[in-house]
Amino acid sequence: MGNFAAADLNAGSDFGPPQAVRGRASRRASDAFAKARRGAMVIGSLNAMKLQDTLVRLKRFQVEEKRRRVAQIESMVEEFSKIARELDQEVAIEEQRAGIFDSSHFAYPTYARAARARRDNLNRSAVELMAQLEDARNRLEEAAADLDKAQGLGAREAGDSGGDTSLAVEKSAIRLRAARA
């Protein structure tokens, strides 16, 4: 019995539990590892979705910022043009009142001369703003394209194509604004 008992004790002893116990433990460990891995994948996909949402929000903000900049420049050009027209009318009224229409005449009204200089400065500024407006519109189109890409990535990851229609509406609005100006 002594030999049999020693052989029985050594049967599963490779410095660990018997084979049957070892199999269950390793299955439990692999199941736990698989669950942890699935959980990490879910968390990873949630983090990726959060990052994607953040990226889309950032791109939307940039598009809105560029849109506000375009609107601001457009309003400045309109305002400068309006003031220049008013100054032109004031110059004409002042010239008629004085009866002198030649700006190089020694008796030309000082107010008319100053109004002309201001009008010319406003017209130059409006021309410079038109160049800035063109640049701002180009940047707006680039930002809209970046937003389109970001929404496209999000739609592909989510399996949804709902962002395509909103982007098409945004692009048509940008083109319409560009055509109006």
Best CA proximity match to 150, nearest among 64, 67, 68, 49: 49
CATH class of domain segment(s) 2-180:
mainly alpha
Per-domain residue ranges for the chain? 2-180
Q: What is the pTM of this model?
A: 0.58
DSSP, collapsed to helix, strand or coil, labels residue 179 as helix
pLDDT tens per residue, range 96-133: 999 999 989 999 999 999 999 999 999 999 999 999 99
pLDDT for res 156: 62
